[in-house]
Every structure is written in structure tokens, then in C-alpha cells.
Amino acid sequence: MTRLAKLLRTMPPTAVFGLIVIVIYLVVALSAPLFAPHGQAEIVGAQFEPWGEVYALGTDALGRDMLSRLIWGARNTVGVALATTAIAFSLGAVAGLLAAALGGFVDLVLSRAVDVMMAVPPLILTLLALSALGPGVLNLILVVALLDSTRVFRLARATAMNVMVMDYVEAAQLRGEGTRWIILREVLPNISAPLIAEFGLRFCFVFLTISALSFLGLGLPPPMADWGAMVRDNAALITFGDITPLLPAACIAVLTISVNFVIDWMLHRASGLKE
Amino acid sequence: MLLNIEKLKIEAKGEEGWTPILHGVDLRVDRGEVVGLIGESGAGKSTLGLAAMGFAQPGLRFSGGHVRFDGTDLLTIPERQRRAFRGRRVAYVAQSAAASFNPAWRLIEQFCEGPEIHHTADRAASEAFAHELYAKMHLPDPEHFGLRFPHQVSGGQLQRAMVAMAMACKPDLIVFDEPTTALDVTTQIGVLAAIRQAVEATGAAGIYITHDLAVVAQMADRIKVMRHGREVEEAPTQQMMQAPTQAYTRSLWAVRDFRRPVRAVDRAATPTLRIKGITAGYAQHNVLNSVSFDIPRGATVAVVGESGSGKSTTARVITGLLSPSAGVVELDGQILPPRLAQRSPDQLRKVQMIYQMADTALNPRQTIRQILSRPLQFYRGLTGRARDVRLHELMEQIELTPDTFLDRLPGELSGGQKQRIGIARALAADPDFIICDEVTSALDQLVAEGILRLLSRLQDETGVSYMIITHDIATVRAIADDVVVMKNGQVMDRGQQAEVLDPPRHAYTRELLASVPQLDPDWLRRRIAEGVE
Amino acid sequence: MSGAPAGQRHPLLRMIAARLGIGVFTLFVISTLIFLAISLLPGDIAQQVLGQSATPETVAAFRRELGLDQPLFWRYLDWIGGVLHGDFGQSLANGRPVAALLAARLGNTMFLAAYAALIAVPLAVTLGLLSALWRGRMFDRITNVLTLSAISLPEFLIAYILMFLLAVRMGWFPSIADPGASPGFGEMLNRTFLPAITLVLVVTAHMMRMTRAAVVNVMGNPYVTMARLKGASRWRVVTRHALPNALAPIVNVVALNIAWLITGVVIVEVVFVYPGLGQLMVDSVTNRDIPVVQACALIFAAVYILLNLLADVVAIAANPRLLHPR
């Protein structure tokens, strides 16, 4: 407990801010039905109602309550991004660890495949894959997760390789330990810090990618509330000097900035301790 | 007086704020005089050496005292004026020349940079001076040597080029920071001779930092012994070598005297390990060429050689990490399968290994208990109470208190303690044979001696055989029964210690022994007179 | 330093040749992937495009028209052969040749990307150098927070904020970047200013952070300390000692960040309704006009691969170890 207190005391203000924001988002996402005055698909009034007492943030192009959709959006958008990151991370980390531990042919094949996938900007491959597979939440999650897992693979493989050349791993190999023991007991505990930081970075990236795809009309299907799509649907208001369409975008930005602040502090701390 | 450092305090930035690493140290250097700084790692000698240039490494800061160079306090003048001293009045020779030369510049450009910055000579003059110095240091083709890039030059030549570069502005003082530590002994002697001759020729004063007593005895007029950021004692070289006043200094001097009593080794019995005609390498390049030798039962065999001699590759073949293209390894008269994966658990158990860097040999995320329990459980199936009993026995064998250490992580142990855990891990397997790969070379001398004594005692108690891989003749003399001398992947000579070393039987062994610095301060002078380049 | 023996080529040339080989191979694999996107789909693309109401005859005719009745390998050769002659097939949406659709837009996108890159690259490299030079000082800390925030923002948010402030509020620039019928160069710069500056902000943040990291890495080398101990000024240390060695990593950083430029282009074109390749690609993905998507993907991929190839070659050529072998 004292260690935790000390940790919190030595955190820079940016990281504290980030942590608080992340917690708020999680609470809102988990208990969206409690906070949202209306359902996400519910048409409650005329279109583009102004801000006021009835509709705190007005209504959208179809007359749905903006505030409610923002709150539901937290659940949908963050949920999809988290699921995608989790898949990308598991896939990339497992493949990366295996490539590092087994080496040889497995490593060669996996690494070359990843090289090819990373030789093209990810958004372009995503657009290509989505046009081939068609729209849908599942396709979206799988395509983004697969493409993003390449970055996790690179990091997991590189950090695991650094550990694999350590004498204590050689000692385990000489003892006769199998691949499973070496990955789980010798390598994994020593790369957990960079992997956790990477999870945060990947989340930000996935979150922005999915938001961008939603904004381009390729995200969650309507009428699900989704921050990227909400910007697109109401963008016309901006030319009339109304900033309401920027609110969902701001929601995205505040979360990614917060996560990045926390990760930045973690990485800084990890590198500082090494010196 | 050229340099007068008084009550110098330096602090390092840590997790808990600034902690002192130099606690008010004095250092005086007169013109033309060489002062040796000697001490174990963490003594603060390099920090003190850099402070003589008014420089503190990133993460360090000056927190008190004075650094007066020719009357000017380098700590109180602005950075701009300090720069006028660096390179011009006081120059620096680093430990690793390979890392300290800019890879993108030709050597001559780097030589001429100092004179250009400080306007001490025009380009033609400094090039001419470079050629003169290169010639004096016996560098090949001095007129054109400087046209090379750092990666095109060997380690010993690069280190000499750095000494030459330090002299480019004809400085009053040169700081030598372990300039030969990274070199092989046969290379080191040439660099030492070059430094000695160059310093004498230019009349520059020097601060010579090293952990090697014999080296400092050759180079310094006066020696200062340091420990934990404090001065232990200081005296002229002769006096310091013959009559040190402090107990710590005497203990440093005494380390070199450790000799294990000569033991009877049964060479008629089947040897623990027999290496027969091993040829091995990577890709098309052979690192080992038909290497053969025996490890008699219960004996210590030292495999000695310089970098690239193939001694570590031999260990990799024995452990099964590298399959030989020819030859076999026999354990107790039985042929060992060449590849690790083909060996039985019992074969794996019998051959154990102790590593040079105790830091990387122990998993930093496992407690000592976990590290030592695994082989007990893996090979012997020991669990519960039986395992705890054996754990305590092992800890007592390596002279560490079980209750204090078992639940610590490696990061909480000192270098010597970590190395002892490495030994315990090998012992836990009840091996017949242990490979010790440079196990003392990363340790300070006092700690290293403790490890050698421990290894000897454990051998007497358990009858295990050792193969000691080392580049250090002192280690060989201290504990080896038999010696194998290797060079370029071949065995030059092998036999009992006295046969191989006293007097050296093979020409290469002779060269090796003649290159090892002696405590006698006149040793280098004699060797130069004999014509060392 | 002695010249390489006859018959043995300079290792630099060998490295570059090897890198070019990998580049060509990657292009081949990517083109195959892009081609397969249409061919290995679950279900029948012809059926999907024509809808459930289409008669079997029309579907069969359409399949023949697409060449779907040919073996896969021949179709690939046919397709890639066409591509190499500038023939990308016909749009499924309107039957026009894809090449004609692209031609009008490719120039627009290239103009926008070049406009942004010409501002972003020098800006990012300079700022990255400065913050590496002043590591830990106020400038570095502020730029760290700013760039961290900038890379956390969705591209469309930056675009809309700029549009809101500079176009709607101030009225300095048009909110819709329509080049219209052949405007003058100055007019074009003005009309595309908002999308270009959005791209600059996005790309600069990424590129600057990576440049800083590359330079900081080089600055940690002992030879940099050595230069200071020779009395070199901070400026000299950075420009003469660190920069030549940081050149290769910086070039790679610039090339890598072309990915952000391409991603940004797609989104920015949609926001500002700019008639470029990105917008065309997004529209075609929505309509599942696969030949157009393939053509756009191939162009974006090829540009990115070629630029990275170029960067690698420059980085290899800047390495003294390869330039001056033993």
C-alpha cells in the first residue's frame, strides 16, 4: 500500500490526469444505461435541436438525443476498440514469443509475413480487406486486429529476442527445459513491462483506426452510437458555426491523450530505472 | 602545480534524489608527472578523472570542492571557457576506442579536429604532427594510416590512434581511463609501450586510471588508491608497491599470491571428459580445428587463450549448443550426442555451466529459492521438505546464510554473491563436470579470489571436475592442475601446469607469459628495451 | 582501403541490389494480395454486385466479363499485365475505365501530399533536432506534451477544428477544398491550405518524436562524449558528430511517416471534399467497386514501398562501414 501511495505521489500531473480520465471513461462505459437519459436509437425530438434543458447537448440529424448517444458511444466505441486490441495483442504476443523462442523456420516465415503486411500503410490494407469482406462489426474487429497484431509481433519478438540471448535462458536450455517453460517462466516475466505499455499504445492506435473507419462510414452499423460516425453524420453543423459534431471527436481525443500520458510516464519510468 | 583538485564532491541522480559518489577527494598532479588512480569498480576513479577536465557525465553533478587547472578553477568558469581547456590543455583517452571514435569520420579528420577547434596549428602542421605521432606509435604506413575509418583498423591500433589524437594539441595533461582494459595481453603490451614512449617524448603529465596493479606500476610515478569514492592512501610507486600502509591496499596486493597446493591427479583412470578431434564453426568458417584434450577425473583444467582463440566455442560444443563438423566428446567414456536435444536428462545433469556475467546468468524475476529449486526438482524430483534441506545445504556450501538470501531477487545481491548463486545452481544438479566460463573476470580482485578459493574447496569436497576458461594467467596459476593453451581455434600446448608454464614450453605460451604485466615497476622498461612494439 | 579484387563487387552495391530485390518481391506479394482480395472471397462477387434478382445468365455473362471463369493464375497475369500498361479494368459502379477515373484524381492527391510533405519534413526534422539538443529542458517538455496530444487526436478532429476556426469563424480559407477548373498555382495553394496544414500537423507530430528519438540515441554514443571532451561546442557536436550518424535513421523516420501522410490524405480528402484518390477509394469501398479499390490500394502501396526502398538505399549508402569496407 505504501508503495502504491509513493508511486501515486511521484506521478507527474499529466499521468494523474490520464489515470483519472481513464477511470471515468470505464465507469461511464460500464454503466451507460444508468447515465443515459435516452436509448441510443431512440428518436426523441426534431432534428438538430439546440442545446437546452430538454436535450442537454441537442439532437442529431435524426432527432436522437446527443448526450445519450455520446454516453452509449463510450460503451460501443471503447468496447469494440478494447476487444480488437485484446485480440491483436494476444495474437501478436503469442506469435512473437514463439518466433523468438523457436527461431529458425517458424521465425523466418512469421517475420516475412509480418514484413509484407507492414510494407503497406495499415489503413490501405484495412480498406481493401473491408471492401472484400464487406461491412460488419466482426469483420471490422478481425481485420483491424490482424493488421495491428503485426506491430505487437514486432515488439514481442524483439524484446523476447533480447531476453533469449541472456545466459539464464541458455542455462535453462542446457538444463533441458522445454519451450513452454522458457517462454512462460524465463522470458515472459522479463518483458511484461514493455508489453503492458505496448497494450496501451496499441489501444490508442486501434481506437483511432476504428474511429477513422467509422468516420469514413465503414464502422459500426447504424443505429449503434459510435463517436466516429456521429462526427460524420452531423458534420454539416460545423459550417453553421455549431461545434456539437466536435464533441464525439473530443471524447475520442481526451481518452487517447489520457492513455498516452499514462504510457509516456510508464515508459519514461522504465527507461529511467534502467540507466 | 598543474592540477589541484581539492575536497571534490560529486553526486549521482538516483530514484531517491541525489546521492554522493565522491566524498571530498583531493588530487594533485605536477607538470610531467603521471599519477595512477587504482581501485575496484565503483571507487569513483573514472569520475575523478573526468572531473579533472571539469566534466561530469550526464546524471552526475559537482556539489563541492575545486578543480584548479594551472590556477583556474574549472568549476566556477562558464562552459564556454571550460571548452577552451578541454582537448587543448587537458585531453582524454577512453577505454573503448572503437566506441569513442566517430564511425563517420576518417581518423586524420578526428586527429585534426582538436587543433582546428582550438586554433593551435594549421591543417598541414597538424597532419604532419599526426604522421610523426603515428610513426612513433609504430602504426603501419603512418603517412596514410589516418585516411582509414575507425572500423578499418584493429583494436590495438585504434587505441594507439586515440593516444595520438589526445596529443594533437600538445596538452599539459592527459587522462587515461583504462586505455588497455578491453585489449588482449599480447596487444596490451604494445599499447602500453606506445603510451609510455609518447608521454615521455612530449613531457605531458598524466592521470592513469586502471584496476590492474601491475599496469599502474609501469605507468605511474605516484599511486592513489581509492575505494567507495574516498581516498585510501597515496604514495610514490615504489613505496606503494613495497610498503602499503592501509589494510585494504595490502589485501589488494595479496590477492595475486593465492596458490592452491599441488594435488595428485589420477591421469590413468577414464577421464571425466575427453574431447577428440573437434572441428566446429559457423557457416563456412571453422572456429575450432581438431581440438583434443582430456579433463581427468576430479581435476581442474584451465583452457587459456586470447579473444578468438576458440575457448568459448569449445564450451558450446561440449554443452551441445553447437554441433561439431568432426570429432566427438566423451563423458565417462561414453560418446555424448552432439546436439542438446538428443542428450538424456542424466547426461544434461552431469555437465553444468557457470557464466562470466552473473548479472545475466540469473533470471532477475526469480528469487534465489526458485532459481536453486528448479534443478533440484527437474533432475532429482526433490520437493517439499527434502528440497528445503538440500537448499540449505547448498547455501551453506557457497557460504551464504540461507535465511537471509533465499527469498531475495538477484538484483538485491552483490556481484560476488550472484556468482556464488551461479555456482550453487550448478552444484544443485550434482554434476560430474562444470565449465567455468571466465567466472572471475567481471569481478573485483578480492571478490574473484574468494570465488577461486570457493571453487577449490568445493572440488576437494565433491570431487567434481572443472574446465576453467580464462584469459588470465594468474587464475591459471592459482588453481589449474592441467593447462590447455589455445590460439586461433587450435591447441598450442597442453599438459600439467608446471610442464606447460614453468618454463613456458611453446613459443606462443612464452609470448603470452612475457606480455603479462609484472608488479616490478621496471618490467615495461625492460620489455621495451627488448624491442616490444 | 585497398580496392576490391576484380570480380567481387563492392558490398555497398551488393546490399543495394539485395534491398531492391526485396522491394520488388514485396511489391509482387502485395499485388498478389490485392488481386486475391477479389478472388478468394466467400460467395460470388458477381452475384453480390448484381443483386439477388439477377438471372443466372446475366451473372454468368458478368463473370465472363470479369474473367472469373479463367484459372486464377491467368487472371493474375492478365490483371498485372494490364496494370503495367496502365489498364486497371473497368469500374463496377459506372463501367468507365478505372485508369480514367484515377488520372483526374491522382494529380490532386500528389499535389496535396507534396504540399504537406514539403512543409512537414523540414519542420519536423528541425524541431526533432532541437528537442533532442535541449533534452529535458522546457522546450523539450512542452513539445513532448504537444506532440503527444497531436498524435492522440483523430485526424478528422484536427481537420474540423481548423475548418471551424480558419474557415467558418475567420473566413480566411474555403472550407471545401475544391480545386475546380484549372486554378492558378497560387489559388491552388490557397484552396488546399486547410487540408495540407491538417496533414502537416498530423505528420509533423509523429515524425518529430521519431526524429528526436533517433538523435537522442546517437547522442548517447561515447564518441559524442569524446567530441565534447575535445572541446567541441554543443552546436558542433550535434551538427558535425551526431548528425552524420543520425542521417540514416532520420531518413528512415521520414519514409516511415509517409504512412501517416497516406492515412491522413484519405481522411482529410473526405473532410474537405477534395477530389483525390483517397476519397475515391473510400467511396469505392462503400460501393464495393472492387477494381477501383484495387487500383487505389496498389497505387498507395507502391508509392509507400518505393519511398521506403529509396530511404533504405540512402541509409545504406550513408553507412561508412559499407561505403568504406575493410
Evaluate whether residue B528 is within a structural domain.
no
Cα angle value B409/B415/B417 (rounded, 5°)? 65
Q: Is the dihedral of CA A231, A234, A238, A244 positive or negative?
A: negative
Give the pLDDT score at C59: 74
A171 → closest Cβ in B59, B345, B361: B361
Q: Do C231 and B152 touch (CB under 8 A)?
A: no
Residues B25 and B68 in one domain: yes
Residues 145-184 of C with CB under 8 A from A: 145, 148-149, 151-157, 160-161, 163-164, 168-169, 175
Verify whether the Cβ–Cβ distance B100 to C241 is below 8 Å: no
CB proximity B84 to C under 8 Å: yes
Q: Is B531 exposed, middle or buried (0-12, 13-18, 19+ CB in 10 A)?
A: exposed
Closest CB to C300: pick one of A115, A121, A243: A121
Q: What pLDDT is recorded for position A273?
A: 43
Whole-number pLDDT of residue B279:
94
Same domain, B362 and B241: no
Task: Residue B528: count other Cβ atoms within 10 Å of its Cβ.
Answer: 17
Cross-strand bridge partners of residue B286: B281
Confidence category of residue B117, pLDDT binned at 50, 70, 90: very high
Identify the pLDDT of residue C4. Answer: 41
Cα(B310)–Cα(A195) distance, integer angstroms:
38
Contact: C152, A253; criterion CB under 8 Å: yes
Q: Stretch C127-134: mean pLDDT, rounded?
A: 88
Q: What is the DSSP letter of A64?
A: B
B327 in the same domain as B202: no
Split into its structural domains, chain B has a count of: 2
- Domain borders along chain C are 9-84, 105-319
Q: Do residues B238 and B353 both lie within one domain?
A: no
pLDDT of B521 strictly over 90: no
- pLDDT attached to residue C79: 80
Domain with residues A14-271, CATH architecture: Orthogonal Bundle (1.10)
Interface of B with A in 311-330 (CB under 8 A): 319-321
Cα angle A275, B175, B88 (rounded to 5 degrees) comes to: 110
- Give every CB contact of residue B510 below 8 A, 6+ residues apart in sequence: B503, B504
d(CA C113, CA C105): 12
Confidence tier at A185 by pLDDT (50, 70, 90): very high
B contact test, residue of C2, C230, C245 with most B CBs within 10 A: C230
- Going by pLDDT thresholds of 50, 70 and 90, the confidence category of residue A241 is confident
CA dihedral B515, B518, B524, B529 (to 10 degrees): -70
Query: In CATH, what number is assigned to the domain containing residue B91?
Result: 3.40.50.300
Q: Cα B437–B502–B252 angle (5° rounding)? A: 55
Instruction: Supply the mean pLDDT for chain A.
Output: 85
Average pLDDT over residues A246-267: 88
Q: Among A235-239, A245-249, B324-328, name the one with the lowest average pLDDT.
A: A235-239
What is the per-residue pLDDT across A89-127, written as a single tens digit (0 to 9) for each?
999 999 999 999 998 899 999 998 898 888 888 888 888
Residue A257 to residue C202: CA distance in whole angstroms: 14
pLDDT band of C46, cuts 50, 70, 90 = low
Which H or E run contains C153?
none
Residue B516 above 80 pLDDT?
yes
Residue B268 lies in a domain: no
The grid coordinates of residue C126 equal 528541425
The residue type at C77: L
In which band, very low, low, confident or very high, does the pLDDT at A274 lie, cut at 50, 70 and 90? very low
pLDDT at B9 over 90: yes
Q: How far C44 CA lies from chain A's nearest CA (Å)?
A: 11
The pLDDT of residue A186 is: 93
Neighbour-count burial for B450-477, b at 16+ CB within 10 Å, e otherwise? bbbebbbebbeeeebbbbbbbbbbbbbb
Q: What is the CB neighbour count within 10 angstroms for residue B398?
A: 21
Check residue C7 and give its pLDDT. Answer: 42
Interval A40-89: pLDDT, tens: 777 777 777 777 777 667 777 777 888 888 888 888 888 999 999 999 99
- H or E segment at A36? none
Contact A190, A164 (CB under 8 A): no
Instruction: Report the Cα–Cα distance between both ends of chain B, in Å, rounded.
Output: 33
Which range is least confidently modeled, A37-41, B313-317, C62-66, C193-197?
Answer: C62-66
pLDDT digit string, tens, across residues C50-72: 666 777 777 777 777 666 667 77
pLDDT level of residue C47 (50, 70, 90 thresholds)? low
Q: Give the tens place of pLDDT for each residue, B231-247.
A: 999 999 999 888 888 98
pLDDT score at C66: 65
- Is A68:A38 a contact under the CB 8 Å cutoff? yes
Judged by CB atoms closer than 8 Å, whether chains meet at B361 and A273 is answered as no
Mean local confidence (pLDDT), B107-119? 94
Q: Inform me whether the C-beta atom of residue A186 falls under 8 Å from chain B C-beta atoms.
A: yes
Contact C207, C199 (CB under 8 A): no
- Closest CB from C168, C270, C305 relative to A238: C168
Answer yes or no: do B245 and B285 share one domain. Answer: no
Closest residue of chain A to B15, computed from CA coordinates: A273
Residue of A119, A131, A208 with shortest CB distance to C154: A208
Strands B173-177 and B490-496: unpaired
Chain A interface includes B375 (CB < 8 A): yes
- Confirm whether the ipTM is greater than 0.95: no
pLDDT averaged over chain B? 91
Average pLDDT over residues A189-200: 88
Q: What is the pLDDT of residue B27?
A: 95
Same domain, B64 and B122: yes
Confirm whether B524 is domain-assigned.
no
pLDDT at A28: 86
Cell of B140: 603501419
Q: How far apart are CA C49 and CA C46, in angstroms?
A: 5
**Is B15 a residue whose pLDDT tops 80?**
no
Pairs from C192-195 (Cβ < 8 Å, separation ≥ 24): C192/C111, C192/C112, C192/C115, C192/C274, C194/C159, C194/C162, C194/C163, C194/C166, C194/C167, C194/C272, C195/C112, C195/C116, C195/C159, C195/C268, C195/C269, C195/C271, C195/C272, C195/C274
Q: Does domain C105-319 have CATH number 1.10.3720.10?
A: yes
Q: Which three three-digit cell numbers place residue A177?
A: 527445459
Strand order in the sheet with B173-177: B90-93, B173-177, B205-210, B34-38, B222-227, B230-236
**Residue A275 confidence (pLDDT):** 33
Chains with at least 3 CB pairs less than 8 angstroms from chain C: A, B
Q: Is residue B226 located within the same domain as residue B312?
A: no
Cis peptide leading into residue A223 (ω within 30°): yes
The pLDDT value recorded for residue B92 is: 95
**B351-371 pLDDT, tens digit each:** 999 999 888 999 999 999 999
Q: Indicate the residue of A171, A177, A189 with minimum beta-carbon distance to B353.
A: A171
- C-alpha cell at position C171: 473566413
Cross-chain residue pair C294–A212, CB shorter than 8 Å: no
Residue B527 inside a domain? The answer is no
In sequence order, the 6+-apart residues with CB closer than 8 A to the CB of B159 are: B97, B179, B180, B183, B191
- At residue C2, the pLDDT reads 41
Intra-chain end-to-end CA distance of chain C, in Å: 6
Q: What one-letter code names the amino acid at C285?
A: V
Domain that holds residue B443: 273-514
Give A4-44 pLDDT, tens digit per residue.
777 777 788 888 999 999 999 898 888 877 777 777 777 77
Cβ-defined contact of A245 to C37 (cutoff 8 Å): no
C-alpha C160/C-alpha A228 separation (Å) is 13
How many CB atoms are located within 10 Å of the residue B26 CB? 15
C-alpha cell at B143: 603517412
Give the per-residue pLDDT at C324.
Answer: 80
Give the residue among B345, B357, B264, B275 at the shortest CA–CA distance from B310.
B275
pLDDT computed for residue C43 by the predictor: 53
C-alpha C135/C-alpha C216 separation (Å) is: 8
Assess whether B306 and B192 both reside in one domain. Answer: no
**Closest residue in chain A to residue B58, using alpha carbons only:** A275
Q: Is the pLDDT of residue B138 over 50?
A: yes
Q: Is-contact B379 B429, C-beta < 8 A?
A: yes
- Return the pLDDT at A30: 86
Mean per-residue pLDDT, C99-127? 89
Bridge-based pairing of strands B60-69 and B3-14 is antiparallel
Domain ranges, ordered by start, for chain A: 14-271
Contact B321 A170 (CB under 8 A): yes
Res. B209: pLDDT tops 60: yes
Q: What angle is formed at CA C205 by the lines to CA C199 and CA C210, rounded to 5 degrees?
A: 125
Angle, vertex CA C106, rays to CA C105 and CA C107, nearest 5:
90
pLDDT of residue C49: 64
C-alpha B448/C-alpha B458 separation (Å) is 15
Mean pLDDT in residue range B251-279: 85
* Integer Cα distance of B215 and B20 in angstroms: 29
Structure-block grid coordinates of residue C108: 490532386
Least confident of B477-486, C42-51, C143-152: C42-51
Q: Residues with Cβ < 8 Å from A194, sequence gap 6 or more?
A: A155, A159, A270
Distance from the Cα of B84 to chain A's closest Cα (Å) equals: 30
Question: pTM of this prediction?
Answer: 0.85
Cβ atoms of A212 and A227 within 8 Å: the answer is: no
Q: How far is CA B7 from the centre of its chain?
A: 30
A212 close to C263: Cβ distance less than 8 angstroms: yes
So what's the pLDDT on residue B144?
92
Residue type, A165: V
Q: pLDDT tens for residues B416-460?
A: 999 999 999 999 999 999 999 999 888 888 888 899 999 999 999
| pLDDT band at C45; cut points 50, 70, 90 | low
For residues B269 and B436, is the Cβ–Cβ distance under 8 A? no
Say which residue the cell 596490451 belongs to: B188
How far is it, in rounded angstroms, from Cα A99 to Cα A109?
A: 9
Let me know if residue B39 belongs to a domain: yes
